[in-house]
Structure 1
Amino acid sequence: MVNIVSQIECVCRGKRNKNIFASHLILLLLLTGCKSTDSGPVQYKANDELVVLAHGLGRSDWAMRYFAQQLKRARYKVCSLDYASIGQSVKAVLLQTNKQINACISNANKIHFVGHSLGGLIIRAYLQNNSVVLNSNKLGNVVLIGTPNKGSELANHLNGSWLLHIAGGVSQALVTGDNSLGNTIDELDINVGVIAGTKASLLTQSYFNSENDGLVSVESTKLNNMRDFITLDVSHTGMRYNQQVIQYTLNFLQTGAFLSPTRRTNTLY
């Protein structure tokens, strides 16, 4: 994997060709992926609170391992989804994750959801399609981290390419516009907080016209009915390991807000 990354960097430095970089970036996801942690079933006690944790495109539950560890340190039970997304249709991915989430939350008394990138769309789609959970008093808070709720301009650039074709229906559904996966999901009346990154990448910046995390624009992460919103100087990939992101996620899970009222500023929105 190190050799592949090195080749990509050499191509980008030598030819200054961002189209080649974008193509290699998708190819890297196709060739590598992540190892699954293959975690066992979650056992619950009466006062336990569960967090269903969803990873992003081309990843596995391994990608959220550090995040899961921090949630467990805060005394949450964690059920990490592990689903295939590259080469998969939207229907297939939603079917996979629907079954996994149902197994996760069985017998849980309080259920929170945290999703990074595509994982946030998986969570929104699950709640839309499962009204019993949506309307249950067991449903807690939801945090979406770098989620392309309105699609990604980078996906627009790759749209129609052979790489996006073999990447599958889910990848193709991450374009912006009416056909974007995020725009086909209802905005539900739930306690949802949104975290957006503002640390852009020089390699993808030309595809964006506004603040972004290298893959998703800040505007794309926003929902009309979000209860809270915050931007942090972190990249899309870095969100999974960033202590500020983790702390603000914990704050929202515990209180329904990223910051206490006394710490709020006008720069949050």
Structure 2
Amino acid sequence: MNIIKKVILIHGYFRKSKDMKLLSKNLSALGYYPVCMDFPLTFKSFVDSFPILEDMISKDKHDEIYLVGHSTGGLLIRYFIKKSPYANKIKRCVLIAAPNTGSELADTTSNISKTFLNIFRTLKSIQTKNINKLKLNDIKNIDIGVIAGSKKSLVFGHLLDSENDGRVSISSTKFDGIKDFIILDYGHKKIHHKYETARLVDIFLRDGNF
């Protein structure tokens, strides 16, 4: 009997589940059972979404669960892996364009307007200093693949000194302990919509490398 390959897709900052629908469609065509969820990733710290994700996974009956997150969704996955006793239900994860060492744009925004960050608390929670405090490098022997983008076609990309996808620098997507890493020439807002990205997600979830 074939094992149903369930993958939970987690959207990023200022987005909803519909932003993951195209990735869901592509992964479905590749043989997965994708689930898209809505998380409060705008006005609350991303760690406030942890109970929602944990509750879903704790009740899930599938033998194997995969997690795929775009941008801030990738940070939520890492927080779940570190904090939850249900992390052992996760087989592999892919983080797409996630600011794993913190968002340099969020750092810059703090210098411009602290009031803005106090309203958009998800952005505040992904500042470099706040990510460092969480010590998220405990990955509990779960294979994690990272996909970064390199097309900085967005205006904000020019505010970053190093190569980036228009929102997140390539260097900030890396952290110690990842199993594999790859760069695609797409921008932050579109990288997870591309079939090539879905194909690489499939390869990693099956094989543990790209």
TM superposition score normalised by structure 2: 0.90
Cα displacement string for residues 165-208 of structure 1 (whole angstroms, at most 9, x for unaligned residues): 2112x21021123x226853233132111000000135223321
Indicate the SS of the match to 2:128. Answer: coil
Indicate the SS of the match to 2:166. Answer: coil
2:40, 2:62 → 1: CA distance? 25
Residue of structure 2 aligned with 1:112, choices 59, 66, 87: 66
Over 3 Å counting, the alpha-carbon distance change for 1:66 and 1:181 in structure 2 is: farther
Q: How many residues are paired up?
A: 207
Residue of structure 2 aligned with 1:133, choices 84, 87, 91: 87
Q: What percentage of aligned pairs have identical amino acids?
A: 32
1:148, 1:195 → 2: CA distance? 11
**In the alignment, is the contact (CA less than 8 A) between 1:154 and 1:215 conserved in 2?**
yes
2:38, 2:45 → 1: CA distance? 16
Unaligned runs of 5+ in 2: none
Over 3 Å counting, the alpha-carbon distance change for 1:196 and 1:48 in structure 2 is: same
Tell me what 2:6 maps to: 50
**In the alignment, is the contact (CA less than 8 A) between 1:149 and 1:182 conserved in 2?**
no
Rg larger in structure: 1
Deviation at 1:124, TM superposition (A): 1.1
Over 3 Å counting, the alpha-carbon distance change for 1:244 and 1:89 in structure 2 is: same
Does structure 1 residue 85 correspond to structure 2 residue 35? Answer: no
Residue of structure 1 aligned with 2:57, choices 101, 124, 129: 101
**In the alignment, is the contact (CA less than 8 A) between 1:52 and 1:101 conserved in 2?**
no
One-letter amino acid of the structure 2 residue matched with residue 163 of structure 1: F
Tell me what 1:64 maps to: 20
One-letter amino acid of the structure 2 residue matched with residue 95 of structure 1: P
Deviation at 1:125, TM superposition (A): 1.0
Residue of structure 1 aligned with 2:143, choices 191, 194, 201: 191
The Cα RMSD (Å) is 2.0
1:238, 1:230 → 2: CA distance? 16
Indicate the SS of the match to 1:180. Answer: helix
Indicate the SS of the match to 1:125. Answer: helix
Does structure 1 residue 248 correspond to structure 2 residue 200? Answer: yes
1:61, 1:68 → 2: CA distance? 10
Tell me what 1:221 maps to: 173
Cα displacement string for residues 87-127 of structure 1 (whole angstroms, at most 9, x for unaligned residues): 11344222233223334xx1101111111111111111112
1:67, 1:186 → 2: CA distance? 26
1:202, 1:147 → 2: CA distance? 16
